[in-house]
Amino acid sequence: MFCWLNRLYRGLSSPTGRTTQLIWGSLSRSLVLSSRRRIPEFSSFVARTNTCGELRSSHLGQEVTLFGWIQYRRQNTFLVLRDFHGLIQLVIPQDESAASVKKILCEAPVESVVRVSGTVISRPPGQENPKMPTGEIEIKVKTAELLNSCKKLPFEIKDFVKKTEALRLQYRYLDLRSFQMQYNLRLRSQMVMKMREYLCNLHGFVDIETPTLFKKTPGGAKEFVVPSREPGKFYSLPQSPQQFKQLLMVGGLDRYFQVARCYRDEGSRPDRQPEFTQIDIEMSFVDQTGIQSLIEGLLQYSWPRDKDPVVVPFPSMTFAEALATYGTDKPDTRFGMKKYLKRKDIESIRKVAADHFNQEVLPVFLKASRHWNSPVAEFILEKQSLELIRLMELQEEDVILLTAGEHRKACSLLGKLRLECADLLEARGVVLRDPALFSFLWVVDFPLFLPKEENPGELESAHHPFTAPHPSDIQLLYTEPEKVRSQHYDLVLNGSEIGGGSIRIHDAELQRYILATLLKEDVKLLSHLLQALDYGAPPHGGIALGLDRLICLVTGAPSIRDVIAFPKSFRGYDLMSNAPDSIPPEELKPYHIRVSWPADSEAEKSSLDHPHHPES
Amino acid sequence: MFCWLNRLYRGLSSPTGRTTQLIWGSLSRSLVLSSRRRIPEFSSFVARTNTCGELRSSHLGQEVTLFGWIQYRRQNTFLVLRDFHGLIQLVIPQDESAASVKKILCEAPVESVVRVSGTVISRPPGQENPKMPTGEIEIKVKTAELLNSCKKLPFEIKDFVKKTEALRLQYRYLDLRSFQMQYNLRLRSQMVMKMREYLCNLHGFVDIETPTLFKKTPGGAKEFVVPSREPGKFYSLPQSPQQFKQLLMVGGLDRYFQVARCYRDEGSRPDRQPEFTQIDIEMSFVDQTGIQSLIEGLLQYSWPRDKDPVVVPFPSMTFAEALATYGTDKPDTRFGMKKYLKRKDIESIRKVAADHFNQEVLPVFLKASRHWNSPVAEFILEKQSLELIRLMELQEEDVILLTAGEHRKACSLLGKLRLECADLLEARGVVLRDPALFSFLWVVDFPLFLPKEENPGELESAHHPFTAPHPSDIQLLYTEPEKVRSQHYDLVLNGSEIGGGSIRIHDAELQRYILATLLKEDVKLLSHLLQALDYGAPPHGGIALGLDRLICLVTGAPSIRDVIAFPKSFRGYDLMSNAPDSIPPEELKPYHIRVSWPADSEAEKSSLDHPHHPES
């Protein structure tokens, strides 16, 4: 269980993959030779000689000084000490001369912090614990010091104790001591470090910090506001450094990246955070293929050593194809599916379709006789059914779900039913979505615009207004803009969108036409960007990877909250510190704002429905 | 001028110093052998074969494709192309068959973006330019493409054109094309990358992101507020991750670091930014010496290769000594001083002291006769003057400035006059503060508390309330707390504080006593932290380095605004985008706030005094 740390750190500075070899070719041999040195010095600058978890038989006879937490005690004879690196068994001295040491180690409550010195000895034959990496040895304690005594805990630290998430978040500093949280946060740190090495050291990207106190972006709802000292003027916390990264390209920085904090106020949404992190990248003089190769190399290089290596290039699929074949723009390509369904499953699927999507679904069961068993069978000509069998590559005992309706809506329904079927089958023990399998997919050729939901006669950007149109569709911009495809690309992993980007518009006139004429946005808000495009903006493009989601998928964590040290609850509360909090009116004065307290009972009622800690 | 990039990147992944050798010993030879490979691949993923600045005689005969900006053109024959890497001369083809290429290159305005392909050739004998790293060669252009045409610029890009800072900030994307801004931002990125390698790869620190949407901290004035969707509840943007880093130690993360965005609303203050960056570090089981060694190693490892190497360990001085001998807690130790002053200088110094500090200063001129030339001479006994000469190690022709008064105030005055004298002397051409010299100094043993300015009978923390008292002074906490020294330490570079930290209190009782009894703070606001200390908090300490200030000193930039890509003006405005901006009232509604417009004429008058762009 505790071998993970060495595995995690072993990858450090020893790159893999194509790009790597260009730069590191001659180094790899030395790295392999000195592989034991690749683990960082965890005990530099402090008085410990070793971490608890690193001790092995090779340390036998060594005098060691350790710091750690008391994990548990057995019969006042053994004590298991824990640090971030692992567990080690201490032998509590029983002789009279060590009475004070014994007293400290026997009386300190569990989770107290101690410093011990002693000798690494072998465990008596037969008492080795093969499940523990340190299980062949133990420490014969000579001195001990109680550094901090622990009060009665609200829950046990051990991983197997089931806790509610609200309790875990309230006592986050205790939850962080768990194996899983230590692993998740260290893996995150490692992966980001390797991404930085790849971008900065191997490919000449410049890490540039951009402001988070910015201004409202056009159409940018969901932006937190920060009042300034000038009456009525507010900063906005941006959802991404989009404008800044483009301005950096205009500024000739050529290759930019940032592990960027972003903000989005979505109110209460499960598995979203008001602040989140993206690996933000922009390059000049690049095309879609260039960005895709860059990202494939980035993920390959930074992928944890304890997972199967990433295979590149990733497959690619157009948006139209993804919608038509998977019913979604983020297909989970780990499985093709649809077998093993029972008749009662089909009924439940038809019910889901009817209840949630108000749509009829017709199942077709293909029998050995090649005859269809379906309520719709009698309406389908034999020629049609043969064509369907050919198209769908149907095999005996297959089930088809048929529906009719507007293309996007019908596809989307079938896509959701596909996932529904996967749930049903996995509940029955059929492994369709192997958590150890990582299926990357590029989805490309998105539409540039979508009809506005509230007013389908008008257009809005499918992604953002800086996305460049597909070169083959430029002329359509002036005739049938709704048909224009974009140079946007999404990166999908196991059915989750983990990144998205595009080649941007670098021509000021085209940008003005799209903003003002097609989107009817107020161009004044973006005058600085439009002006920048006038002054020698290079062609450029980029991408952003959602770091929280990516790490969540890599670690197999059930929620992004498990890969963030101090996450907010789904209503945006910090259950540990109680943020957000009240501010006295006099402290709001310099910002020229006042609280508008909800006066009517309706509002009061709603505030009662949302007590302070709704999740606890 | 353009050799800088290679120098900057040459240090990449080739560490220096003590710690380094432990890990990298066997690698360094391979690194030296493959030194040409250590420059990152600046042309991966794009269609260019080379950057403009990297071409040399060794590329002679090669077919190259370049992207860049038109720097200038000579007689429709030569064109100098620029990218982030440097300049290269293009020869515009004159033959009829290349008329279209000639037209493109001769008609495109300066700062337009072009793509060119051609052959690297030698310049004709006598036409080499030794000032240009690419000056031995030029490109015989075969094809050219205009990628973006540049409109008439508001100012010339060339570095020698003097611009007002307001104009530079308004057109920041153009200003970023300058050599100096490219150098500053790339050096910053490089230094931070090397710091990360040192912390993460060599010493096992974990890079952990902490929230910026937090709650008000006790005594934390100057915090921006962010209204939430719950009426009257606000997030606060923290001035540092102080609480989180301590909670991470309680969580057993052992070694934390973060390049952390911090926020402080100081209204209008020169050379401060509302958001700034610190290298934030915390360790468990460490003492002051451990943190100091860590930081010395960090700076040594990350120091730019084009500067003199950092010598460690840094000297150390107590706060009392710094105040008594330099009159400040951040002495510029590059110079001792005080010679070469003229009589009229002394008069101007006495005037500064009287006008700004309301304090009398008495100059003493030591003559060859050992007699004092001073208005105060007649009041000083010969025995006293001899003692002074001995104490101050006075030499003939020396000048002493004497003052009397309350210790701290008098020392502080003399400290400021020392800098005043340095200014005077440097204006006369005496180099006292060599910008190429980096004098680091630790200042230690600060007082734990200071008397409150508005009410000297009460105490406030000299730094912050989590700072541990000096172990020798613990008992004074309960008798004479104003005399307690702390375990706080500041890192000073050339007279600027570039970092500060402390060993923290890990005992909940001690922390409660200091917060509630001595500081009279509302402990409820910190209940989560106090509780965390109860549950097995390890002894811990840390430090934060001010990154903007550090990079400013390293690059010799006149202002921190020159090492930040998109800084705010001294009133907190983004002169490029016009942030902060107005927000329509309906967008404030979800946050339950209203703008309190200043109603009285007084306020209106004051708002007229502060027009939108006061600096432009």
Distance between A371 CA and the closest CA of chain B, angstroms: 54
Q: Do B536 and A186 touch (CB under 8 A)?
A: no
Give the closest residue to A329 by CA, choosing from A488, A437, A160.
Answer: A488
Residues B255 and B294 in one domain: yes
- Under DSSP, the state recorded for B526 is G
Residue A189: per-residue pLDDT: 98
Chain A contacts in chain B segment 549-568 (CB below 8 A):
564-566, 568
Bridge partner residues of B501 (DSSP) = B489, B543
CB atoms within 10 A of CB B206: 23
- Per-residue pLDDT band at B428 (split at 50, 70, 90): confident
Distance (Å, rounded) from C-alpha B163 to C-alpha B182?
Answer: 17
Distance (Å, rounded) from C-alpha B599 to C-alpha B602?
Answer: 8
Domains of chain A: total? 2
Q: Does A611 touch chain B (CB under 8 A)?
A: no
Residue A325: per-residue pLDDT: 87
Last residue of a domain, one of A148, A173, A199: A148
- Per-residue pLDDT band at A15 (split at 50, 70, 90): very low
- Under DSSP, the state recorded for A269 is -
Sign of CA dihedral B466, B467, B470, B476: negative
Nearest CB partner across the interface for B598, out of A171, A173, A231:
A231
| Residue B285 Cα distances to A45, A49, A139, B122, angstroms | 9, 12, 20, 62
A465-479, B340-354, B598-612, range with greatest mean pLDDT: A465-479
Nearest CB partner across the interface for B112, out of A263, A286, A536:
A536
Mutating which of B209, B242, B283, B503 best tests the A interface, going by the most A Cβ atoms within 10 A?
B209
Let me know if residue A85 belongs to a domain.
yes
Distance (Å, rounded) from C-alpha A152 to C-alpha A252?
Answer: 59
Distance (Å, rounded) from C-alpha B582 to C-alpha B305?
Answer: 46
Residues A194 and A125 in one domain: no
Question: Considering only A60-64, A266-270, B172-176, B557-561, which range has the smallest mean pLDDT?
Answer: A266-270
Residues A136 and A223 in one domain: no
B313 upstream amide cis, omega within 30 of 0: yes
Cα-Cα end-to-end distance for chain A: 31
Residue B394 predicted with pLDDT over 80? no
Amino acid at B63: E
pLDDT in tens, B17-47: 333 333 322 333 333 333 344 689 999 999 9
Let me know if residue B553 belongs to a domain.
yes
A390-399, B24-33, B318-327, B543-552, range with greatest mean pLDDT: B543-552
> What is the pLDDT averaged over residues B143-149?
98
Let me know if residue B175 belongs to a domain.
no
Residue B209 predicted with pLDDT over 90? yes
- Per-residue pLDDT band at A498 (split at 50, 70, 90): very high
Q: Do B204 and A41 touch (CB under 8 A)?
A: yes
> What is the pLDDT averaged over residues A341-354?
75
Let me know if residue A549 belongs to a domain.
yes
Residue A257: per-residue pLDDT: 98
CB atoms within 10 A of CB A367: 11
Residue B312 predicted with pLDDT over 70? yes
> What is the pLDDT averaged over residues B183-190?
97
Q: Does B377 touch chain A (CB under 8 A)?
A: no
Q: Does A31 touch chain B (CB under 8 A)?
A: yes
- Per-residue pLDDT band at A407 (split at 50, 70, 90): confident
Distance (Å, rounded) from C-alpha B534 to C-alpha B537?
Answer: 7
DSSP secondary structure string, B562-604? GGSSSPPPTTS-BTTTTBSEE--HHHHGGGTEEE----SHHHH
Could you tell me the residue range of the domain that residue B297 belongs to? 182-310+440-563
- Per-residue pLDDT band at A513 (split at 50, 70, 90): very high
A577 contacts in chain B (CB < 8 Å):
214-215, 243, 528
Domain harbouring B338, CATH code = 3.30.1360.30
Distance (Å, rounded) from C-alpha B117 to C-alpha B321?
Answer: 65
Distance between A103 CA and the closest CA of chain B, angstroms: 18
Residue B479 CA from chain centroid, whole number? 40
Residues A101 and A246 in one domain: no
pLDDT in tens, A65-121: 999 999 999 999 999 999 999 999 999 999 999 999 999 999 999 999 999 999 999
Distance between A278 CA and the closest CA of chain B, angstroms: 12
B570 is written with which tokens? 């001294």
Residue B341: per-residue pLDDT: 62
- Under DSSP, the state recorded for B200 is I
Distance (Å, rounded) from C-alpha A568 to C-alpha A164?
Answer: 15
Residues B188 and B301 in one domain: yes
Residue B545: per-residue pLDDT: 98
Let me know if residue B117 belongs to a domain.
yes
Nearest CB partner across the interface for B40, out of A201, A534, A598:
A201
Distance (Å, rounded) from C-alpha A245 to C-alpha A501?
Answer: 12
Type and span of the H or E element at A243: helix A242-250
Percent of chain B exceeding pLDDT 90 equals 66
Residue A4: per-residue pLDDT: 66
Nearest CB partner across the interface for B232, out of A111, A243, A582:
A582
Residue B216 predicted with pLDDT over 70? yes
Distance (Å, rounded) from C-alpha B41 to C-alpha B57?
Answer: 19
Residue A16: per-residue pLDDT: 37
Domain harbouring A90, CATH code = 2.40.50.140
Kindly give the pairing relationship between strand A255-263 and strand A206-207: parallel
Residue A10 predicted with pLDDT over 80? no
Percent of chain B exceeding pLDDT 70 equals 87
> What is the pLDDT averaged over residues B482-488?
97
Residue A163: per-residue pLDDT: 78
Q: Does B21 touch chain A (CB under 8 A)?
A: no
Residues A127 and A203 in one domain: no
pLDDT in tens, A17-55: 333 333 322 333 333 333 344 689 999 999 999 999 999
Distance (Å, rounded) from C-alpha A265 to C-alpha B229?
Answer: 9
B284 contacts in chain A (CB < 8 Å):
46, 67
Last residue of a domain, one of A148, A163, A197: A148
- What mean pLDDT is reported for chain B? 87
Let me know if residue B317 belongs to a domain.
no
Residue A266 predicted with pLDDT over 90? no
Mutating which of A285, A288, A608 best tests the B interface, going by the most B Cβ atoms within 10 A?
A285
Chain B contacts in chain A segment 132-151 (CB below 8 A):
147-151
Give the closest residue to A333 by CA, choosing from A443, A251, A413.
Answer: A443
Q: How many residues does chain B have?
A: 616
Residues B423 and B447 in one domain: no
Q: Does A598 touch chain B (CB under 8 A)?
A: yes
Here the contacts of B590-594 (C-beta below 8 Å, separation 24 or greater) are: B590/B229, B591/A225, B591/B227, B591/B228, B591/B229, B592/A595, B592/A596, B592/A597, B592/A598, B592/B227, B592/B229, B592/B230, B592/B231, B592/B232, B593/A227, B593/A593, B593/A594, B593/A595, B593/A596, B593/B227, B594/A593, B594/A594, B594/A596
Distance between B476 CA and the closest CA of chain A, angstroms: 22
Q: How many residues does chain A have?
A: 616
pLDDT in tens, B438-484: 999 999 999 999 999 889 889 999 999 999 999 999 999 999 999 99
Residue A270 predicted with pLDDT over 90? no
pLDDT in tens, B316-343: 999 999 998 898 999 999 987 647 566 6
Residue B137: per-residue pLDDT: 98
Residues A144 and A187 in one domain: no
Residues B73 and B217 in one domain: no
Sign of CA dihedral A354, A356, A362, A366: negative
Last residue of a domain, one of B427, B450, B478: B427
Residue of A nearest to B212 (CA): A275
Residue B11: per-residue pLDDT: 52
Question: Considering only B158-162, B382-386, B566-570, which range has the smallest mean pLDDT?
Answer: B158-162
pLDDT in tens, A568-605: 998 999 999 999 999 999 999 999 999 999 875 444 44
Let me know if residue B613 belongs to a domain.
no
> Angle of helix A179-196 relative to helix B179-196, nearest 10 degrees?
150
- Per-residue pLDDT band at B108 (split at 50, 70, 90): very high
Residue A456 predicted with pLDDT over 70? yes
Let me know if residue A28 belongs to a domain.
no
Percent of chain A exceeding pLDDT 70 equals 87
What number of C-beta contacts closer than 8 Å exist between A and B?
A: 453
Residues B188 and B234 in one domain: yes
Residue A38: per-residue pLDDT: 62
- What mean pLDDT is reported for chain A? 87
Distance (Å, rounded) from C-alpha B542 to C-alpha B282?
Answer: 4
Q: Does A183 touch chain B (CB under 8 A)?
A: no
Residues B479 and B548 in one domain: yes
Residue B16 predicted with pLDDT over 50? no
Q: Do A275 and B235 touch (CB under 8 A)?
A: no
Domain harbouring B485, CATH code = 3.30.930.10
pLDDT in tens, B495-536: 999 999 999 999 999 999 999 999 999 898 899 999 999 999
Question: Considering only A179-183, A287-291, B321-325, which range has the smallest mean pLDDT?
Answer: B321-325
Cα-Cα end-to-end distance for chain B: 31
Residues A194 and A53 in one domain: no
Distance (Å, rounded) from C-alpha A21 to C-alpha A10?
Answer: 18
Here the contacts of A470-477 (C-beta below 8 Å, separation 24 or greater) are: A470/A445, A473/A448, A477/A510, A477/A513, A477/A514, A477/A518
